[in-house]
Chain A
Amino acid sequence: MKKHRRRVASGVSLSGQLPTGPARGTGSIRTDAGRYLQAAARDDAPAKFGSPPGEVDDTARRVWEVAFGLAVRRRFEPDAPLAEISRAVARSVHEHAAAALPMMDAEMLVRAALGETVPLAEIDPDVQVGVHLLLFASIADELALGDEELELLVAEAELG
């Protein structure tokens, strides 16, 4: 079985906590949260629908948020035209229509990741997770990240 097909947690608590002990090497994904994100980027069920079905702890949310930020900043310049950002967000929201992500919330999260001061309060935590996972997936696709690059990016996010 290929490494990226490893089982991801489903219906149980999903964590981004790094395992204790020395890392076996750099650039490999070491958490359930990281594997779930990798599955989302590969359009694997159930991750392709956004939020996982079970419990998600804060470390998992943190991994996804960091990965989202890394991907956004790789995809867009800090002063990217708003039209370019909103087009990419709209494409992603349509691509993942089943998750019904609110477009404005998604756009604001992207703009905030680029350093802009935007209204971010009152975004539903599940929406936030959905945006972090699914926009990450869309951006990974737009950047045509290969397996290795994707794994490196997720592993980088796991380190915080």
Chain B
Amino acid sequence: MGQIGTLDKAATAAGRLILEALGEGHPARSLSRLGDSPRAIRLLRELFTVAVRRSFVGREPREVTRYVRDLLEYQSLTADGELAREAEAMIRGAIGEAELTTGLADLRRFELICHVLGDLARPPGVPRADLLALVDQAEKRVARFDRPRNRVVGRRSV
């Protein structure tokens, strides 16, 4: 049995919901069902940033294009059109090219985040400890950015 409340649990309810969704049969779909929880959406945005940065910062940027094609094909989605361009924009937006996501609707951003994060559970999947570490880091980012003194005017977006 794991150590309840420490190693196998996220600190927040939103974190636990996300980990639960990632453990289900269709993680992207399960994550998208969290769309009615503002806290879960907030945490998913930071989790996306953390996961994408760990995967792509310092790598050849064209790997993002290859990754997106592979991701969408695996999920049986159209991999040669707008969805692919938007997914690439979101990922590169999170690693420093923020203006690529200008004009992208919130709902589409959320869908894309769910697709990419759902992919963390794709076999063989990210080890549980790594997943917990990602969620932990995302929770810390939420806590850090949402402190009143750190709030920025206007919307933060990934």
Contact = CB atoms under 8 A, between A and B. Distances in A.
A102 B80 contact: no
Given A108-B85, A119-B79, A122-B82, 10 more contacts: A82-B61, A83-B61, A103-B89, A103-B100, A104-B100, A119-B68, A119-B69, A120-B81, A121-B80, A122-B81
A119 B80 contact: yes
A118 interface: yes
A119 B81 contact: yes
Contact of A82 (B62, B79, B85, B103): B62
- Which bracket fits the contact residues of A? 10 to 19
Nearest to A102: B103
- Which bracket fits the contact residues of B? 20 to 34
Interface of A: 81-83, 86, 90, 102-105, 108, 116, 118-123
Contact of B85 (A81, A90, A104): A104
Interface of B is mostly: helix
A119 B84 contact: yes
Nearest to B65: A118
B86 A104 contact: yes
A59 to B, nearest CB: 26
Contacts of A123: 82
B99 interface: yes
B89 A104 contact: yes
Contacts of B75: none
Contacts of B82: 119, 121-123
B85 A105 contact: yes
Contacts of B79: 119
A33 B75 CA distance: 42
